[in-house]
Amino acid sequence: MSRYATLLLLLKHMGYINGRVQFQKLTFLLEKNYHINTEYDFIPFKFGPYCQAVQEDIQHLINYGYIEHEEVEKTGGELLHRYQITEHGEQYLLENDFGEIYDQVIQDLCYDFKNYSIRQLVEYVYENYPEYIIHSEVRSQYYHPKPKQEDFTSADKLLDRKPIITPSFVKWLDEEIKITTKRLEVSEVPNEHKADEMELDELVSEMLDIAYEDIATKAQEISTKIMLEDYSESGDINNKIYFILEILENLLGVLAEKDIIGIYTEFANTKTNIQMLDELIALHRTSLKSDLVRFLFEFIEDVGFFLDSIDRIISL
C-alpha cells in the first residue's frame, strides 16, 4: 500500500486529525500495534517517535489538493494544525484499490484511538514504546510507567492489607474504580466495607460457565456458517467473534479471583469489541444473508445479557 494511501485512509476514518503530533503517533501505531508496513522509518526524537517523511508526504498531499490544512488558533494564541481529506483525496482512494484488509485495519486503529486526547495518545505511545522516548524532551510529562500486570493484587486483598499500603496507593485504587464505574455507567462497585462480602456463589459460577459455553457454541455455529458460505468478510467477523470469546473467558477468570480492576478492564474491553463487531456487521450487511445477520445479532444480544448478569453480581 502506498504511503499516500495510508495517510489518506487515516484521515478518511478519523474524520479529521488535530495536529502533527496526532498524525505522527497514529501512523506510528499503525505499524507497531497493527503490523502494517507503512514504509515509514520512525526514530526516537525530541517528542518521541518521529518520521520526517510523514511530514513531507502530508505537505505533498496538501499541495496536490488531497488534504485540506487549516491553522486553528487555540486559547493562549497557540496554533493547531487541522487536517481533513478533500473530495480529490476521496477520489484518489476510490480510483486505487489498496485492499479491503488495509482499509479495515486502519478503520480499527481509528476506532480504537479516535476518542483519545492528544495527551492520552502520547502517554499511550510513551508507556508502550519507551525505546522511542530516549531523546524526548517531555518524557517526564508523559511517561508514567505502570506496574507489570503480575504485580497487581485483587482489590479485596489490597483492602485487607490496608495497614501496609501507602494511603496514596489506596486513594489511587479507589479513584480508578470510581472513574471506571462512571465510564461504564455501573450503578455500584464494592467499597471498603463490601469488598470482604463479595463472594461468587458456586451455583452462580456454574451458571456463568454454562452461559459462556452457550455463547461459545453459538459463535462456533456462526463461524461455520460464514465459512461454508465463503463470505469474503469471514476473516474480519470471525476474528472479532473469537476475540470477544477470549475476553469473556478472561472476564470469568478475574471474576473468580475477585479482581475488581481486572473485571472492569475486561468488561470495558468486551463492550468495545461488541461495538466493533456491530459496525463490521453494518459494513458488510448487504453481502450477508438475513439469517446470518440475525444469528450475529443474537450473539451480540447474548453477550449483552452475560455482561448484565456480571454487572448485577458485582453490584450486589
3-state secondary structure labels for all residues of 107-149: HHHHHHHCCCCHHHHHHHHHHHCHHHCCCCCCHHHHCCCCCCH
DSSP string, 70-81: EEEEPTTS-EEE
At 162 the three-state DSSP class reads: helix
b/e string for 276-288 if b means 16 or more Cβ within 10 A? bbeebbebbeeeb
For 291: left if phi > 0, alpha if psi spans -120 to 50, otherwise beta; the answer is alpha
Residue type, 20: R
Specify whether the CB–CB gap between 261 and 155 falls below 8 A: yes
Between the CA of residue 158 and those of 166, 204, 262, what are the distances in Å?
A: 11, 25, 14
CA distance 164 to 205: 32
Specify whether the CB–CB gap between 65 and 56 falls below 8 A: no
* C-alpha grid cell, residue 298: 443474537
Name the phi and psi angles at 201, rounded to 5: -55, 145
Terminal-to-terminal C-alpha distance of the chain: 52
Specify whether the CB–CB gap between 283 and 216 falls below 8 A: no
Specify whether the CB–CB gap between 107 and 13 falls below 8 A: yes
Whose cell is 470471525? That residue is 238
Any residues with CB less than 8 A from the CB of 177 and at least 6 apart, and which?
155, 189, 260, 261, 264
> Going residue by residue through the chain (316 aa), what tens digit of pLDDT does each one get?
689 999 999 999 999 998 889 999 999 999 998 888 889 999 999 889 999 999 999 999 999 999 999 988 876 777 888 999 999 999 999 888 777 778 888 988 998 888 888 889 999 999 889 999 998 888 888 887 765 544 444 444 444 443 333 334 344 444 555 555 565 554 444 444 444 444 555 666 777 777 888 888 888 888 777 776 655 555 678 888 888 988 988 888 888 887 778 888 888 888 888 888 888 888 777 777 777 888 888 888 888 888 887 776 666 4
CA distance 23 to 25: 6
* C-alpha grid cell, residue 150: 503480575
Which of 271, 274, 251, 272 lies closest to 263 in space, CA to CA?
251
pTM of the model: 0.48
